[in-house]
């Protein structure tokens, strides 16, 4: 069973980063960057096979704290798919892939985790770059395909490394970029109520194509943030079994978001420089910041926002 509908992009206004011909509008700095995919890519690459179980995949993401696993052919490391945290969130109650749990496994959590394989939920047509591709090409692929992680493959299709938005921000960011946070942040922040369940959060993530949701209290105050990785970690760490007394997946998904989400959050002022935002993310080990002014939530800025802002900057 595969996806039936296209997931909406995280921020539709992202078309402003494209030229009139639909191609990315990158700065001269990007085109002059000496690095190529082979140099920028991180290694080792944590992978999974399509015959691995859903639980095994969730365990691997949790163990290595990653949000994507290239799917490889056994004993060859040749790329044949991609599995993301959002794919698993979709399966864990967020979208149409949850029908597999309901129909094939009759809501049995053990069957759904131990008898279903990665092949059922992975993307069999993964987006990738080659070891020869330069930075403009890498960015172009990520922008046009709306992905934040790309495997880097060699001539024979085997994986050399992996590149994430975090890696590219690290390559390009300067202490001062000359662009304000308010210019690139997402202003209409999608949140989740603190009284909501994991299933509520998963459904909202899949519906809007986003990986993180600020958790808000009844009085409007911000409690913390729940991410797709948090939901995967709930299953991959086996914490899920502490909150289920039966074999029902639905019971597990009724777990409150506060059990899974991380309390607390990191903020930044909308007038701050994008370079300061990147530095703060690196210092705090986070991929997003809540933009707050006078105690009020004004927006959210992510590594993707920073990357596009830097790449499209004109000097």
List pLDDT tens digits, range 147-177: 999 999 999 999 999 999 998 888 777 778 8
Q: What's 215's domain CATH number?
A: 3.10.580.10
Q: Within 10 A of 137 (CB to CB), how many other CB atoms are there? A: 14
Residues 135 and 250 in one domain: no
Please report whether residue 212 resides in a domain. Answer: yes
- 5, pLDDT greater than 70: no
How high is the pLDDT of residue 18? 54
Please report whether residue 38 resides in a domain. Answer: yes
Residues 112 and 236 in one domain: no
- 75, pLDDT greater than 90: no
Rounded to an integer, the average pLDDT of 28-36 is 62
- 313, pLDDT greater than 70: no
Read off the pLDDT band of 8 (50, 70, 90).
very low
Side by side, the strands of the sheet bearing 212-216 are: 192-193, 212-216, 222-227, 262-263
- 52, pLDDT greater than 70: yes
- 3, pLDDT greater than 50: no
- 2, pLDDT greater than 70: no
Residues 190 and 250 in one domain: yes
Read off the pLDDT band of 13 (50, 70, 90).
very low
Please report whether residue 2 resides in a domain. Answer: no
Rounded to an integer, the average pLDDT of 309-315 is 67
Average pLDDT, the chain: 89
Instruction: Tell me the residue range of the domain where 79 lies.
Output: 12-164
Buried b (16+ CB within 10 A) or exposed e, 242-264: ebbeeeebbebbebbbeebbeee
Model pTM above 0.85: yes
Read off the pLDDT band of 9 (50, 70, 90).
very low
- 26, pLDDT greater than 90: no
Read off the pLDDT band of 22 (50, 70, 90).
low
Which one of 137, 164, 191 terminates a domain? 164
Show the 3-state SS of 139-174. HHHHHHHCCCEEEEECCCCEEEEEEEHHHHHHHHCC
How high is the pLDDT of residue 146? 87
What CA–CA distances, in Å, run from 197 to 39, 121, 228, 247?
42, 23, 14, 18
- 291, pLDDT greater than 60: yes
Please report whether residue 23 resides in a domain. Answer: yes
Residues 224 and 261 in one domain: yes
Instruction: Give the number of domains in the chain.
Output: 2
Show the 3-state SS of the chain. CCCCCCCCCCCHHHHHHECCCCCECCCHHHHCCCCEHHHHCECCCCCECCCCEHHHHHHHHHHHCCCEEEEEECCCCEEEEEEEHHHHHHHHHHCCCHHHHHHHCCCEHHHHHHCCEHHHCCECCCCCEECCCEHHHHHHHHHHHCCCEEEEECCCCEEEEEEEHHHHHHHHCCCCCCCEHHHHCECCCCCEECCCEHHHHHHHHHHHCCCEEEEECCCCCEEEEEEHHHHHHHHHCCHHHHHCCCCEHHHHHCCEHHHHCEECCCEECCCCEHHHHHHHHHHHCCCEEEEEECCEEEEEEEHHHHHHHHHHCCC
How high is the pLDDT of residue 220? 84
Residues 146 and 185 in one domain: no
How high is the pLDDT of residue 299? 95
The strand pairing partners of 161, in sequence order, are 152
- 4, pLDDT greater than 70: no
Read off the pLDDT band of 139 (50, 70, 90).
confident
CA 184 to chain centre: 18
Rounded to an integer, the average pLDDT of 37-49 is 94
How high is the pLDDT of residue 140? 86
Among 4-13, 109-118, 179-188, whose mean pLDDT is lowest?
4-13
Distance CA 201, CA 100 (A): 19
- 37, pLDDT greater than 80: yes
Residues 18 and 118 in one domain: yes
List pLDDT tens digits, range 217-276: 988 889 999 999 999 999 999 999 999 999 999 999 999 999 999 898 999 999 999 999
How high is the pLDDT of residue 315? 46
Which one of 113, 138, 164 terminates a domain? 164
Structure tokens belonging to residue 246: 């039966």
């Amino acid at each position: 069973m595969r996806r039936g509908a296209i997931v909406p992009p995280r921020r539709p206004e992202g078309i402003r980063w494209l030229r009139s011909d639909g191609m990315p509008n990158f700065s001269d700095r990007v085109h002059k960057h000496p690095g190529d995919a082979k140099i920028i890519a991180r290694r080792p690459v944590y992978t999974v096979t399509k015959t691995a179980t859903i639980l095994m995949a969730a365990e691997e993401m949790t163990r290595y704290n990653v949000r994507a696993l290239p799917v490889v052919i056994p004993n060859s490391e040749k790329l044949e798919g991609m599995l993301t945290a959002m794919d698993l969130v979709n399966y864990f109650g967020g979208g149409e892939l949850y029908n597999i749990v309901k129909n094939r496994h009759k809501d049995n959590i053990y069957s759904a985790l131990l008898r279903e394989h990665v092949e059922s939920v992975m993307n069999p047509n993964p987006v990738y770059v080659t070891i020869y591709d330069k930075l403009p090409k890498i960015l172009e692929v990520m922008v046009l395909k709306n992905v934040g992680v790309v495997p880097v493959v060699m001539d024979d299709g085997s994986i050399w490394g992996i590149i994430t938005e975090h890696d590219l921000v690290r390559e390009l960011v300067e202490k001062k970029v000359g662009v304000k946070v308010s210019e690139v942040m997402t202003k209409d922040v999608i949140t989740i109520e603190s009284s909501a369940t994991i299933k509520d959060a998963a459904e909202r993530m899949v519906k809007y194509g986003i990986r993180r949701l600020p958790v808000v209290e009844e009085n409007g105050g911000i409690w913390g943030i729940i991410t797709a990785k948090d939901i995967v970690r709930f299953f991959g760490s086996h914490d899920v079994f502490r909150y289920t007394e039966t074999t029902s997946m639905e019971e597990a998904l009724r777990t409150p978001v506060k059990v899974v989400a991380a309390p607390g959050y990191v903020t930044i002022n909308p007038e701050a420089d994008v370079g300061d935002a990147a530095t703060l993310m690196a210092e705090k080990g986070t991929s997003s910041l809540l933009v707050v002014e006078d105690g009020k939530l004004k927006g959210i800025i992510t590594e993707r926002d920073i990357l596009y802002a830097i790449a499209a900057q004109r000097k």
